[in-house]
Structures are given as C-alpha cells and as structure tokens.
Structure 1
Amino acid sequence: MFIYDSMTQGLELLARRELQSAEILFLNVINDPYSQPEETKRARTFLNDIRACQTGSKSLDFSLYKKLIKKVTVSLDYVDDLLSDVYFSDASSYEEIDNELSSKTPTLVSRLKQIKISDISGRDKLFEKMEKGGLNCVKKKLREIKKQSGSGDFETFRWKTIFRKFIEQINPVLLERHLELLDYILATGEIQLLDDPKLPVLTPKYIWIIESTLESEWYLLRSYFFKAKSEIQSQFNKKEGTRKFWEEIKYKKIKIFEACQFSESNIQKFLFIDKLNYKTLEDIYEFSQELGLSLMPRDVSLALRGVDKAKDHIKERGGFLMGNRKVFQSQLLDLGFSKDNAYIIAKQAKRSNNHQINEAFQNSLKVAGDEIYWYRITPDCQRIKVDVEAQCAKHLSTVRIHLFERGRLNKLLLQAGKPLIRKYLEKVYGDNVSELHCYFRLETVHQYYKLKFFEHHGCQIPSVSELIKVSRKQFQSILLEGYKTFLKKKRIEIPSSLYKTIAEHKSMTEWEDSYTTPEEKILLRFWFLMDHGVTINQKIINAGVLKPGADIWAFVKGQGEECNS
C-alpha cells in the first residue's frame, strides 16, 4: 500500500488489527521532521497503545480506531494561508521573502506529501490551482483592508515573486514524492495508481519508461506510454531541450537576475524571451563580475543583439569607453578632470559638443588667471578646478552658458575667495570680526578692496562702520584722488594706449559695475603686485604686466593654491 497520509492509513491498519504495519506508520509520523506537533502527539499515543497491547498490559477496542479515521480530502487552504501571510508580511527583498517562505514552508511538507502527483501535467495543474487559490485569498484580504482603511492595491509583481519562490521551494518535495510513487508502482505493479484506464497492466515497456524516468529524476510524461520505444529513448537520451532542462535553466537565470537585484518585472520579461541563451547570460554576468559590476537590464537587452554589444556597454559602465568617447575621455583626463567625471561627461555628452565642454573648462581657468588681480584665485586652484569640473558634468554642452552668461563662474570665484577675505579682515580687525552682526556686509569683495585702498593709500585704517558707510559712488572719487597721488609719488606714467586698452577691456565674468573705472583696474593690479613683494616702477609698466591678459601670476612667481594677500 502506498502511503499518502501516514496517520490516517495507520489508523486503518490499526482498526484492521495489523499492529506491526500500523506501528511502522506511526513511527514514520514521529520521526518525520516536518510533522506537526499535534500529529506527533497523536501518533505517539497510538504507538503507546499498540505497544501496550503487544505486551499484554492493555486490551484495545479496535472499533474505536475505525471511528477516528478521517477520509483524506486534499485541500489547499493551508497553501492559500501561507501565501497570504507572506504577501502581507514585511518581507520585501528577495532574500527576506526567501527566508519568510523557508520558515513557513516546512509546516506544509507533511500535507504536500498527501497530494498524489501522477505525472508532469498533474503537477502543473496543481500549481495552477495553488496560484488561483492563493491569489483569490490575497485579493479577498485586500478588499477587506480597503474597506477599513481605504487603501490596499494589489502588487502584481510582489505576488509573482512570492509564488515563484514558493514553487521553487515545494517542487523538490513534490518531485521526491512522485518518484516514491513510481518506485512503489515498479515494486508492486499497481499501475492503477496513475489513474489512467488506458494503462491496465504494467508491461515491460511501461516498466522501462518508469525506470528511465526514475533514472532521470524527473516527472513522468504520460505521453511516453503511447509512443514508440525508439522515439522515447531519444527523448531520455537528450541532455538539452527537455522539460527538465528548461526548468533548470530557468532557475539558473533567476539566480543571476536576483544576484543583480533585477526587479520582478524585468525577471518575468527576460524569462519568457526565448532568444536569451543561458550561456550568453552567464558569459556577460561573469564579465561584469570581473569588472566589479552587476548586470543591468540594459546589458541583458543588448545581449539579445550580440554578446559584444552587451560587453561594450558593461565596459562603458565600468569606465572603459569606446571609440570617440574614449578619445574625449582621455582629453578630459589630460585637462585634469577626475576619472569619474571624465567618464560621466564623455559617456553622456554628444560628440558635436565635446569641444564646447573642453573650451568652457579651459576658458574658466584662463579667466581665473587673467582676472587674478580681482579674484585673487590662482588658475591652478584645486577648488576652482573641482567646481568648474562639477559644472561641466552637470550641464555638459550648456556649461558655457551657465559659467559665463549666467554668472556661475563669477560666483564660484567669489566663493573661493571668501577664506582669503576673512583671513585679511581678521588680520586687520582682529579674530572676532566674523562675530559682528554686520560681518555679512563686510566680507564682500568690494569691501575687501576698499580696505586694500586704505592700507596702501590712506593715512589710517577706517573702523568697520566707517568702511561700510563708504558707498561705491563715494569710493569712486576717493580712489581717483588716490590714483593720482600714487602715480605722482611713484613717479610713473601710464601710457595712453595702455590706459585705453584697460578701459575698453571687459571681463568675461562681467564683474565690473557702473562705478568701475580704468584707474581702479590699474590700482587693483598694482595692489596685487605690491602684496607679492613687487616694487612698482616704470620698468614694471613698460614690461607689459598691466596689459589685459598678461600673466601676472607667472610674473610674481606665486606659489600655492591661493594668493596669500
């Protein structure tokens, strides 16, 4: 007798006074790690009754056991409840859902063993029934939740993940039970257990089919019983293309997809694409692992058009660009861009815009060098390079507009000069100057140069309040007077051509306001030179250092990342 329900069949044997056979079944229940506690307790009680009867210490009323027999009705309510519990649990990641199912599925094993799977189609129908029942149970609970709270939408792909993983966990149990049934049929010849009236007797051909199925460790295909032996033999000899092969491939693919954290929607999409060869998937997966990356859905999609396309895309994601992008990436690296930004920009920028990004970066550093007398920021200042580089990565082809037309570069340079201004103010007014309530008005670049003027041309340094009270309009006339005095004191002359050139020159960052005069621009250059120890004389002027675009920083041979003045 093939055992479906050890407890029920044990009671039947006990009612028929077959004590030894019943004892074996009750022992099976007790020793089964998947048995429920209440079943184990009942089996132990019946086992004690049998042994007491065998020793003669107790007489049994066998008719009583007959009344305890319950007809085995295969219900899948317990499956529905389990799937529903997992669906409404907090488990969200693949690993968490796996753990949740692993903790609950063992409680079903003894019940799953009560289900007779006679062939592969029977298993498929069982899975369909489980899916339908579980889905209805979940949706029913969702409707109840929606009535109470007003929210409770069904998550299709969460359900697909849970059911897919549930099937993956119970399939080995069902397969093992199915193979036990086939083994029992071979031993007893009871082919009627397959529930097919067309198979009345276990013939040598049927024996061979069942033996071959057991050897392949897979479900029986009923159609084999009605085909020629030569045709069936070729099917058993096949290593690829069988139902078992495709299911194994499916689980291998899923393992890769989950390792790369693909969404369930992508997993479902790629599982049903016949063109996605597993060897191809494995190849690009191993390739991505070598580069320290995980596969992305785009990689898999490209693999459908060729492994090389997918690998090129993976290389690009790993920082290895190809063709013109690689050339542009090298150019950016040569300019001093970081590896990450060079990769991002070269990957995203259109080929026709590459020169604009290069030029914007180079022009920004050139402006820093040309206008160093105003911003006091050297062209090799690391902070400015990083900031401009970030703008290039953010805006790509429109970076020139943002840097020059919208004043972003001016703001970056002024911001980079804040520490220098603070250092100078603390030097003049003391370390606590930043605690003044008017400090935000004092730390501007215009206040900085007003203070510079009084340092170089005034009799004394004004107080903070006096300095702030001097407006740009008032400062214009004060500066003009100081300019004339300075030229007279130093006995120098500014050639009219140089004066005109300076007057006409406009900065690319447009830092000049309506009160900016050529005299102020000349004095700004003088102050920068003086702060770096250069003596102002006619020789300096004749050397062309004051001309717009002249490399003043190279002239004073400054060192460091910022002008310490």
Structure 2
Amino acid sequence: MFVFDPLSQGLDLLAQRDLQRAESLFLRVINDPFVQEDELQQARSYLNDIRSCQAGTKTLDFDQYGQLSKKTTPSLEPIYKLMTEIYFSKAETFPEITAVISEAVPKVINRLKQVKIRDILARDALFQKIEKMGLKAIKEELKKVSPETKGPEVFRWKTIYRKFIEQINPILLERHLELLGYVLDTGDIAILDDPKLTVLTAKYRWIVESTLHSKWYLMRSYFFKARSEIEQQFSKKEGTRKFWEEVKYKKITIFEECGFEEKHIQKFLFIDKLNYKTLEEIYDFARELGLTLIPRDVSLALRGIKKAKDHIRERGGHLMGARREFQGQLIELGFSTENAYQVARHAKRANNHQIADAFRTCLKVAQDEIYWYRVPRQSQKLKADIEEQCCKHLSTVRIHLFDRGRLNKLLLQIGKSLIRRYLIRHYGESVVGLHCFFRLATVHQYYKLKFFHYHMAEVPSVSELIKVSRKDFVPLVKEGYNNFLKKKRLVVPKTLFEKVEAYKSVTEWEDPYTTTEEKFLLRFWFLMDHGVSITQGLLNKEVLAPGADLWGFLKRQGEECES
C-alpha cells in the first residue's frame, strides 16, 4: 500500500482490525521529524489504544475509528498559516525572503507529502489553491492587524508565492515519482484515480517508466495518444513543460542577481518573445563590461539584441555614433569624462549644439565681465558648476543659466571668498562676526568700498558704508570718475565711451543706477588691483572696450583674481 496520509490510512486499517499494519503506520507518524504536533498527539493516542488492546486491558470500538478516518482528511491550513507568517515577517530582500522560506518549509513537508499528486494537472491545481487561499488568509490577517489597510502588497505576495512554489516543487516531484514507482512495482494503476485506467498495460507501463526516467510529472494525456507521438514528446529536449519551467527558474536567477524588482520579474517572465539565450547573452555581455542588467536592457532585447548591447555599451561609457562625437566635443570643451558621458548619453541629438553653446557662452561671459565678477574663465570651480547645470538641465540649460539668472548666481557665489578677504583686509577679522556682515558681504558693497579706497582720503566705517545707497552713490561715482581722469590727464575716446555705454551684460547685472562712469571705474579698479597703470595709450588701444580679454591682457595664469 502506498502511504499518503499515514494517520488516516492507519485509522482505516484499525477499523478493519488490522492492528499490526495500523501500528506500523502510527509509528511512521511518530518517527517523522516533520510531523505536525496535533498529528503526533493523535498517533500516540491511537498507538496506545492498539497496545492496550493487544495486552488485553482495553476493548476497542473499531467502527469508531472508521468514522474518525473520514474526518481526518489532510488540510492545507498549516501551509496558508505559514505563508501568512512569512508575509508579515521582516524579510524584505530576495535573499532574506528565501532564507525565511527555507527555514519554514520543513514545518509543512509532512503535510505536503499527504497530498496525492497524480499528474501535472493535480500539481497545478494544488499551486492554484495555495495561491488563492494563501492570499485570502493574508487578507483576513491584514484586516485584524490593520483594518484601514486596503489590501496586501501585491508584489511582496507574488515574491513569497513564487519562492515558496520554487522550494516545494522538488518535494512534490519526489513524492510523485515515488507514486509512479509504486505503480510499476504493484501494477496498481487505479491509484491514479482515473476510471479509464484500470489495468497497467505494456503501453501504460512504458509511459510510467519513461516519465520516471525523465524525472518529471506524469502527463495524463499520454495514456490516450499514439505511441509514436508520445515517443516524440519524450525525446524532445526543448518545448516541454519541464523545459519551460527550468528556463523560467534560470531567468529568475539572472533577474535576481541583477537586482530586478518583483514587478519587472513578473513582467518579463510572461513575455514569450524573451528568449533565454538572448537574455543570457546580454547578461554575459553586461558582465564583461562590469555591469548588471537593468529592465531597460531586457526591454530593448525584445526589439533586437543589437539594440540591447548598444544600450549596455552606452551605460558602460562606450557611446556610439553622434553621441560619441558629441561626447568628444564636450571633453574638448573641458567637461570631465564622466559628465561628458552623462550629457551625451541623455541629451537629445537636436539639442546638442545648445548645450555646447551654453557652456561656451558662460565662459565667454566670465571672460568679458571679469571686471565685475572677478572670476576668470579658467576657474575650475566655475567649469564644474556649469557642467553640473548642463548635466541637470540638458536642453533647457540655456534657459536656466541666462533667462533665470543661474549663471549670475554661480559667478557671484564663486566671488564670495574674494569679497570676504577684501573686507577682512580693511576692517579686520572681527568684521566677520558682525550681525550686519551678510549685508556687507555683497558685490555692491565690495565695489563701494573699493571706490572709497581709490578715490577718497579715508575708508568709511562699516555702518557708514552700508548707509550709502545706490542712488546716493551715483553722484559720488561721477565725481570720482571725473577727478580720476583729471588727475591722470586722461581723455576717454568718444567711440570707446559709446561702446561701453551701449553694452548690456548677458547676465543683466546692471541695475537702474549703473552708469557708464561706474563701468569704466570697474575696469580701472580691476587693472589697478593687478598692478596696471591706467594710461592714455591703454584707452586708445581699446583694451577696456566691451568684449576685450582683460585677463589675457594681464597674461595671468592663475584661477583667482587679486582683490
């Protein structure tokens, strides 16, 4: 007799007064390391009854045991309870969930072995039942724990169910093969519960033997097909249920190694176009480049392996075609290799010139208006900040840098350290601790102080300097400008004056009180700070004209201006 449920079958034997065989089955339950606690207690109780009867100390009601056997049909409740416990465990990652399930499965092995898996359809029906009832049990528990929760996390449940099935399938398969072995040994094909299968014929025996040899579940339909057709199925290495399940688990292994989320795993598992050889090829290709697959790679593989490989190359820093050319162009402009790769990879081809032009324009602005911002175009900090903006905004970087004033803010921020040093030089270290320092450390206060330094007898105090408004500063600037020209005996050419007057900054730093005289003084101060005397020859050469490279005129090599 093939034993599925030793407890129930032992009660049947006990009802038939077969004490010896019933005793062996109850002992089997007691010695099972995976037995449920309630079944263990029942088996011990029935075994004690048998031994008391054999000793003559107790009279048994055998009909009662027959009634009990009908009530002890194996239930899957322990499995549902186990899956609920796993769902509410703290395990989050795939390895953690796998470890929790591996630890929990032995608790229900005994119950799984009690289920008669006659063929592949019976196994599928069991899996469907576990999926349906397991989810139902989780929902019921969730209502008790957290009534306001709408429902279980779908993909967490799918992960648990998938991994649970993956671990119990070998147990069920082993049990099924034992059943087929029993059929061959005893010829009892009726155990497969099919009324059409009454006698183990030579053909049926060959089907069972072939199934055992293939180490897979019995296909019931084979019993009703021609032998030639069945032989063809058994000889196939691809396209069978066993093959597709093995492929599925191989795919899952790759997906999990690459860190895919469950939603992506579920998506790709049920796409027939995703050939495993293709997946394996792009997986190996990515590993050669030191990368792991991402869902986008797999999606592109559905449209062609070349597209997927090109995308992987791009992620690995190997751009192709126009993107590669643009990457080289950015590197020539001064972009770091990493930033050039990121921008070239993500930017649309039609916007490439806008990004490159924006970068060039920013450096040109720094060069043309160095007298105001005091930031040379060679500044690595400036280049890094502009690169960051290009990476962040791509095709809209020009709007952010110029229309929204981001470049102006970047240049002013870089110049903060120079302003701080200049203020400390005139007012001492204690100026930093003043509560009004944030009002003092601005570019307008900086140039106001520089005006008093060059054109007045003494430098005012901090409070006096702050009190001078931009409006009040205008007449002082004009007077200082005229006195400076008179003292130096300089005459500004009319054409030069008109050019400076007409010029408007790209960053629009000029306010309503900015005069042409102030623009000239700003240029004078910049050159004087760097040891250049303002002469008539300098004015005639139009070194101070808009667009002139003052930093280049100074032939400076550093990245910072003098205060």
Partner deviation per Cα, 1:345-383 (whole Å, 9 max, x = no partner): 223322222111111110111110111111100101122
- Contact 1:14–1:62 (8 Å) recurs in 2: no
What is the match of residue 80 of structure 1? 80
TM-score by length of 1: 0.90
What is the match of residue 106 of structure 1? 106
- Contact 2:278–2:305 (8 Å) recurs in 1: yes
What is the match of residue 354 of structure 1? 352
What is the match of residue 380 of structure 2? 382
- Contact 1:11–1:65 (8 Å) recurs in 2: no
Q: What SS does structure 2 have at the residue aligned with 1:312?
A: helix
What is the match of residue 439 of structure 2? 441
What is the match of residue 167 of structure 2? 169
Q: What SS does structure 2 have at the residue aligned with 1:275?
A: coil
What is the match of residue 502 of structure 1? 500
Please list, as runs of the form range in 1=range in 2, the aligned pairs for 1:49-128 lying within 5 A after superposition: 61=58, 63=60, 70-71=68-69, 72-128=72-128
- Contact 2:481–2:517 (8 Å) recurs in 1: yes
- Contact 1:6–1:25 (8 Å) recurs in 2: yes
Q: What SS does structure 1 have at the residue aligned with 2:160?
A: helix
Taking the aligned partners of 1:542 and 1:481, their CA distance within structure 2 comes to 22
Partner deviation per Cα, 1:3-26 (whole Å, 9 max, x = no partner): 21334545666885665x667656
Moved more, 381-390 or 78-87: 78-87
What is the match of residue 188 of structure 1? 186
What is the match of residue 475 of structure 1? 473
Taking the aligned partners of 2:521 and 2:157, their CA distance within structure 1 comes to 75
Moved more, 178-187 or 519-528: 519-528
What is the match of residue 462 of structure 2? 464
What is the match of residue 326 of structure 1? 324
Equivalent residue letter for 1:545: V
Taking the aligned partners of 2:165 and 2:448, their CA distance within structure 1 comes to 79
- Contact 2:120–2:217 (8 Å) recurs in 1: yes
- Contact 1:17–1:62 (8 Å) recurs in 2: no
- Contact 2:343–2:390 (8 Å) recurs in 1: yes
Taking the aligned partners of 1:560 and 1:68, their CA distance within structure 2 comes to 100
- Contact 1:74–1:115 (8 Å) recurs in 2: yes
- Of 202, 211, 214, the residue aligned with 1:213 is 211
Partner deviation per Cα, 1:30-81 (whole Å, 9 max, x = no partner): 5544233565577678889999999xxx777584899668424032222222
- Contact 1:302–1:310 (8 Å) recurs in 2: yes
Partner deviation per Cα, 1:202-233 (whole Å, 9 max, x = no partner): 22222221111111110111222222222222
CA shift, 1:274, in A, is 1.5
What is the match of residue 247 of structure 2? 249
CA shift, 1:118, in A, is 1.1
In structure 2, the CA distance between the partners of 1:409 and 1:68, relative to structure 1 (3 Å rule), is: same
- Contact 1:328–1:346 (8 Å) recurs in 2: yes
What is the match of residue 520 of structure 1? 518
Between the aligned residues of both structures, percent identity stands at 63
What is the match of residue 409 of structure 2? 411
- Contact 2:76–2:111 (8 Å) recurs in 1: no
- Contact 1:11–1:66 (8 Å) recurs in 2: no
What is the match of residue 363 of structure 2? 365
Q: What SS does structure 1 have at the residue aligned with 2:82?
A: helix
In structure 2, the CA distance between the partners of 1:562 and 1:259, relative to structure 1 (3 Å rule), is: same
CA shift, 1:553, in A, is 0.8
In structure 2, the CA distance between the partners of 1:64 and 1:540, relative to structure 1 (3 Å rule), is: farther
Taking the aligned partners of 2:244 and 2:184, their CA distance within structure 1 comes to 28
Taking the aligned partners of 2:180 and 2:166, their CA distance within structure 1 comes to 22
In structure 2, the CA distance between the partners of 1:424 and 1:73, relative to structure 1 (3 Å rule), is: same
Stretches of structure 2 lacking an aligned partner (at least 5 in a row): none
Partner deviation per Cα, 1:299-318 (whole Å, 9 max, x = no partner): 22221121111111222233
Stretches of structure 1 lacking an aligned partner (at least 5 in a row): none
In structure 2, the CA distance between the partners of 1:364 and 1:279, relative to structure 1 (3 Å rule), is: same
- Of 291, 294, 308, the residue aligned with 1:293 is 291
- Of 506, 527, 530, the residue aligned with 1:529 is 527
Moved more, 153-162 or 389-398: 153-162
Aligned length: 559
What is the match of residue 234 of structure 1? 232
CA shift, 1:466, in A, is 1.1
CA shift, 1:392, in A, is 2.0
CA shift, 1:277, in A, is 0.7
Taking the aligned partners of 2:113 and 2:63, their CA distance within structure 1 comes to 23
Partner deviation per Cα, 1:490-512 (whole Å, 9 max, x = no partner): 33332222222222222211212
What is the match of residue 225 of structure 1? 223
What is the match of residue 131 of structure 1? 131
What is the match of residue 544 of structure 2? 546
Equivalent residue letter for 1:241: G
Equivalent residue letter for 2:124: D
Partner deviation per Cα, 1:228-271 (whole Å, 9 max, x = no partner): 22222221111111111111111112222233333433333322
Equivalent residue letter for 1:84: T
Taking the aligned partners of 1:354 and 1:132, their CA distance within structure 2 comes to 54
- Contact 2:11–2:22 (8 Å) recurs in 1: yes
Moved more, 225-234 or 80-89: 80-89
Q: What SS does structure 2 have at the residue aligned with 1:192?
A: helix
Moved more, 333-342 or 380-389: 333-342
Taking the aligned partners of 1:528 and 1:232, their CA distance within structure 2 comes to 94
Structure 1 vs Structure 2 CA RMSD: 2.8
Taking the aligned partners of 1:152 and 1:397, their CA distance within structure 2 comes to 42
CA shift, 1:188, in A, is 1.7
In structure 2, the CA distance between the partners of 1:464 and 1:177, relative to structure 1 (3 Å rule), is: same
Taking the aligned partners of 1:493 and 1:349, their CA distance within structure 2 comes to 51
In structure 2, the CA distance between the partners of 1:124 and 1:431, relative to structure 1 (3 Å rule), is: same
Taking the aligned partners of 2:243 and 2:411, their CA distance within structure 1 comes to 65
- Of 487, 490, 494, the residue aligned with 1:489 is 487
Partner deviation per Cα, 1:448-483 (whole Å, 9 max, x = no partner): 011111222221111101111122222222222222
Moved more, 169-178 or 489-498: 489-498
- Contact 2:53–2:60 (8 Å) recurs in 1: no
Taking the aligned partners of 1:43 and 1:408, their CA distance within structure 2 comes to 81
Moved more, 393-402 or 460-469: 393-402
